[in-house]
Amino acid sequence: MPSRKIDMTDVRVGKLVVIRELLPADKRIGSKWICKCDCGTVVSVQGSSLRAAILDPKKGTRSCGCLRRKSSRDRMRRLWRNAKEEVDKGNRAGALHG
Ligand SMILES: [Zn+2]
């Protein structure tokens, strides 16, 4: 019987390029792969996370984390703007008495 394991070497997933499998594989979480991000960071990623990212761009792991850091910064900016609007609203509501 041939192995059913998928060889992910040289596969590009988002900003990551798979270099080689991380051995030994963890029986509980399955295979992991050494990937190099476009930003130069080398990370180990679960095979299931890579496959999820290939199937659905909104899921899985597609970078060393630099993509997520960028989007979380955008989210912080949005939260900050909302907070500022809340403060402006509060000031307009006349919370200041003397
Ligand atoms: Zn990166």
Query: Distance from the CA of 44 to the center of ligand 1, in angstroms?
Result: 12
Per-residue pLDDT tens over the stretch 12-69? 999 999 999 998 877 887 889 999 999 999 999 999 999 999 999 888 999 999 976 6
- At which residue do the structure tokens 């041939």 appear? 2
Q: Cα–Cα–Cα angle for 47, 52, 57, nearest 5°?
A: 135
Burial zone of 41 (CB within 10 Å; 0-12 exposed, 13-18 middle, 19+ buried): middle
Task: Confirm if 30 and 44 have CB atoms less than 8 A apart.
Answer: no
Query: Distance from the CA of 10 to the center of ligand 1, in angstroms?
Result: 17
80 alpha carbon, distance to own chain's centre = 22
Query: Distance from the CA of 84 to the center of ligand 1, in angstroms?
Result: 31
pLDDT over 70 (residue 4):
no
